[in-house]
Structure 1
Amino acid sequence: MLCAAPTAPGWTVDEAARAAAMATYDLESLRDSSALKQITDFAAALCEAPVALVSLVETTRQTFIARTGLSETETPREMSFCAHAMLGDGIMVVPDATRDPRFADNALVTGDLHIRFYAGAPLISDDGIPLGSLCVIDTVPRDGLTPLQMQGLATLADNVMARLRDSRDAAAWRAAERNTRRQLTDSEDRFRTLADTMPQMVWSTLPDGFHDYYNARWYEFTGTPQGSTDGEGWNDVFHPEDQARAWDVWRHSLGTGDPYQIEYRLRHFDGTYRWVLGRALPIRDAAGRITRWFGTCTDIHEQKLALHERELISQELSHRIKNIFSVISGLISFAARSRPAFAPVAADLRQRITALGRAHDFVRPHSPASRPMVKQDSLHGLLAELFEPYRREDRQPIAIAGDEIPIDDRSATPLALLFHELATNATKYGALSTDDGSVDVTVAREGDHATLRWAEQDGPPVREPDGPHGFGSQLIELSAVRQLGGSVMREWRPEGLVVIVRVPVAAFSRT
C-alpha cells in the first residue's frame, strides 16, 4: 500500500515495504558501534562539519544509530532532513536551510540545533528501498561540498550499507540456526511418525552405507524380523539375479554422492518377488559432507507388468505396420506386371515405400532381440540404415560425418523420403551412377538449426535441369520444407550436385 511520506511532499513511499526491510537488519548490534562511529568521524573530518550522522528513517521518527558531534539519538520524522535525502538519486545538499521553503520553519533550524547547512547521501537497500542517509550538518551556511567531499561521502554511504548488509545476513543466519536447533530437537520423532504413515518403504543409512533404520512398511512388505536387515542384510531380500547389480549401483552412489535409483525385485512376505523402485538421496552438512542417506522403496510391480504388456502390444502393432509396407510393395509389383507401362513408376514407388519401411523399422518399438545396434534416436544411425542398399561390395560410397542429432518417429518419415530421393537421383544421374563416385553427408548443428549437406563428387558432369522440377524434387521440397519446416538450396557444381537443407532442431525430435 502506498502512502505519502509525511516529510517529503510529492513523493510516495511503500511504508509497509520499508518497515519490513528495516526489520531484517539487526540495528541494535550496530547502534553506537565503533565501525559506524569511525565512518561518521571520518565524514565529519572530510567535510569539515561539526556533525555527522547515520540516520535511519522509521515510521514516526528518525534514529541516529551512529553520530559524531551530537548527543541526541533520535528526532521526530516530521523534522527529518534525511527523509528527503533518502528519496533522491544522489547527495542532497541544502546550502542554507533558512532559505529553503522545505526547512525554513523546521524546529531543527529555528531551535537549539541551529541547522543551516546539510548534505545527505541516501542509504538504499539492494532491492531499492530507501532507509535513511549518511549526512553532515553545519550551523553556518555553506556553498556546498567539494567534488572530493561529495565522492568521499558517497563512498562512506556505501560502507554504511555494507555494514547494514552484514548485520542483516548475520541476523538471518542466527535466526536460521535457532530454527534449525528447534527443528532438530523433535525431528527424529516426527520423521519416524511420518515414515510409518507413508505407503512406501522408507530406510536410512549412515554415511558409509550401513543401514540402521527401516519404517514399519518395510517389515510389513518383506516379513523379515526387525533388525534382521540392518547393515548389509538388506541385500539378502533382493532377487539373486539383481543382487550384484544393486550392490554396484549402491557402491557407486556411496563413492560419488550421486542420487541412488534402481529397479529390482524384492522378496515379498508371501515368498514371491515383486518389482520395486529404489531411490535415495544424501543429506549433507554445511561443509558438503554426507551425514546420512535417506531412501524409499516403491512397489511398482503392477505398473511393470502393465508396461511390459503395452510394450508387447506396441511391438506387435509396429511389426504389423512393417508387414503392411511389404504388402503394399508387393501389390505395386503385382500391378506393374500386368501393366508394363506402369513398371518404371512402380519401381520408383516401391523403392520409396521400402525406404519408408526401413525408417519405420529403425525407430519402431523393438524387443531386446530385434532392437538395432545403433541407438534408435540417432540421426547418423537412421542415415546409415537408409544408405545400406547403396553399398558396393566392401565399400559404402555414402559417407556420414558431423554432429549427432536426436530424432524420433515423427521426423524419420520425411528424412527417409528426403535422402532416398537424393540417393536415387544420384544413382540414376549423379555420383552414384559411376563406380568411382561418392557422396559426403555432413550434419552441422548451429544453435537452434541444423544444416544437412549432401555433396556429390567424381560422377558425371551435372547441370541444372531445364523446365519445372520433377516428382522427386517435389518430394524433397515436401519433406524438407512442409514437413520439417526447413529450406532447400541446390548448387549444380562441375564436380557434382550439392544440396543444403537447413532444418530447425526442434523438428527432429519432440524432446
Structure 2
Amino acid sequence: MTRQDTHRPSWDENERLEALRSYGVLDTEREVAFDDVVNLIAEICQAPIAVVNLIDADRQWFKAERGLGVRETPLATSFCAKALLEQDGMVVPDAAQDPRFACNPLVTEAPHLRFYAGRLLKSPQGLPLGTLCVLDAKPRPQGLTPLQEMALTTLAGQVTSQLELRRALLERDRSEKAARLAIEASAYVGAWDWDIAADRVVADERFAWMYGVDPAVARQGAPIDLFRASVHPDDGPRLTQDIQRALEGEGGFVSEYRLVVDGTTRWVLARGQAEYDRSGAAVRLPGVAVDITERKQIETNLAETARALSESETRFRVLADAMPQMVWSTLPDGFHDYYNARWYEFTGVPVGSTDGEGWNDILHPDDQPRAWAAWRRSLETGEPYEIEYRLKHHDGGYRWALARAVAIRDDEGRITRWFGTCTDIDELKRLEQGRELVSQELSHRIKNIFAVITALVALSARQHPEAKGFSASLRTRIAALARAHEFVRPHTETSKTTVGDTTLHSFLADLFKAYADDTGEPRVLISGDDAVFDDQAATSVALLFHELATNAAKYGSLSEKAGIVFLSTARQADRFLLTWTERGGPAVQGPPSRSGFGSSLATLSVEGQLGGKLHREWNADGLKVIVDLPDAALSRRRAAIMAAN
C-alpha cells in the first residue's frame, strides 16, 4: 500500500489550502466530538497514539490527539503528509524498514514510531485535508485487522461529516451576519402585512418606529389609518390612488411618499403584492418599505446642480460672446469643442467647422508647424500655452493674433479642460513695425551725426596739426559712443543687436573705450570672473553700464582727470556679482534728492529685465554699485539648452 515519494499530487496545493481554511477549524479549541473519535479508534486499534491531523502549509495541526501531548509538529517529520499523496490513505507496517521513513527522527529517536495507519479526510471536491490515523512504537507486519480497517474508514468519514457540519454552520453564521449588516447598512425600513377584509396591519418593529406607531401595537395589528396618519398631507391622495390601483389591477403596489414623525420628514418607497381569493377580490397586501430620503436628497441636489450648471453655462456663453477676444475651449486631450461668437465673426467660417483639429486650417501655413508644436508641448506638460500667429480673416487676408490658454485642474491635479483666447493684435503689430522704422531712421541719423562729427574733428585736426593727438582721442571716444548707441537704442525682435556668444569682459571693455584717458588707457578697470555673454542680455547690460559711465563722466570719478572706476565681477554659487566702485572723483555728499530717468532705467534693466537686484552706496570717497544677478541671466540661451539636455 506504499508508493514512491516521486508520486505527483493530482490537486493544486493552493486550492487544497484554501479548502482547508474554509472550514475555519485550524487553531480552534478541542471539541468533544473529535476527541471521542480519537479515543474510540485508539481503543479499537489498540494503539497508544491516535490523531485527527490537518495538513497546513508548513505544519501538521491536530484537532484531536491521544498519546502525543502536543497540538502541532513540523511538516518535515509528518507521516500524514506522505499519506496525502495516496488515494485513500496509507499503512506502514514497519517504518524502520520503509525507505520513506527509516531516517525520520520520529523513528530513529523518541517516540521511536514503527507502525502507522491513516485514512484521508477529503473535501466534497476530493481535496485531501488531513488524516485520521493511529501510530504505535511496535511494528505490525500484518497491519490492521479487517474490523480495525473498517472502523478507521468509518470514523474518518465521521470526522469528515463533523468538518462539513462545522463549515455549514460557519457559512450560515457568516450569511446571517452579512444579511444583518446589509439590512443595517441599507435603507430597509420594515415589512407589513395588511389583512384587507379585517383592516388589520401587522408590522415589524422598524416599520412601526418609522410610522410613529407603538411596536407592541404593530405586532398585534392595527387599522391601516393608524399608519397612514404619518403620511405627508400632500402625498396622501397619491398613496390612496396607488393602493386602489394595486387592488383593482394586477396586484403590484409601488408608491413613494413622505412620512412626518416628531417633526422629521423622511421619504419611503413602499412595494407590495396583493393576494386574491377565488372570486378575485383582494384579501391581503403584504410588502416592505425602504427609506429613500438620501436618494431623494441626492436627486434634489443633482437637479439643483444641473440647474445651476445650466445657468452657469448660459452666463458663461453670454459673457464669452460679449468679450472682444475670441474665446475657445478644449477637452483634456486638446479636442476643440467650443468657440464664442467672436471667433465665428472674425473667421467667417460655419459654426462647428473648426471643432477638433479643424482650427489649424485657419492658421497661416507658415505658422501651422510652430503653433502645433507649442500646443502639443502644452498638452504634454500642462504648461500655459502662448504664441503669436496669423489667423485667416473673413475678408480673406491674415491678421496677427495672440493666443493664450491655461489648463483647468480638479482637486487631484488632473486636467479637466483647457480655456483659451485669441486677441487680434494686428494693429499693434503694424504700430510696432512703424515704430521700428522710425527707430531705425533715428538710429541711422544719429550714426550719421557721429560720422559727421568724426569727419569734422578729423578735418579740424588737419588744419591744426598741433591738435592731432587730441583729435585721435576724441574720434576714439565718438566711435565708442556710436557702438554703445547700437545697444542702448530701442530694439524689436527683428532689429535687436546680435553679439553672438562673447564674454562679458570683452563686451564691457569695448563699451568703455569712450572713457579712456588721453593716451588710450582705460579708466574703467575690469577684473574678476568672466562670463559667457549673449545678445539676450546685451541691451540691458549696455543700458546699465552706459548710464553708470555717463554719470561718472558728468558727476563722478571720471569727471576728474585722475579719477578711475574699478569694476569687479565674481561668480558665487548660482549668482553673479558685479561691483562698480568709483575712486578719485569729487566727494560724494550723499544720495540725490530725487531719482532721475537714467537711474530708474538702470534699476529697470537689472531688476525688470535681468531678474537681479541693484544696490547703491553713496560713500564719501565715491559711489559704489552692487549688481546681484542670477548666474543664467547673462547667457539665457545657453542656460536653456543646458537645462533641456
**Shorter-chain TM-score tier:** 0.3 to 0.5
Tell me the TM-score normalised to structure 2 length. 0.37
Give the TM-score of the pair, scaled to structure 1: 0.46
Rg comparison, structure with higher value? 2
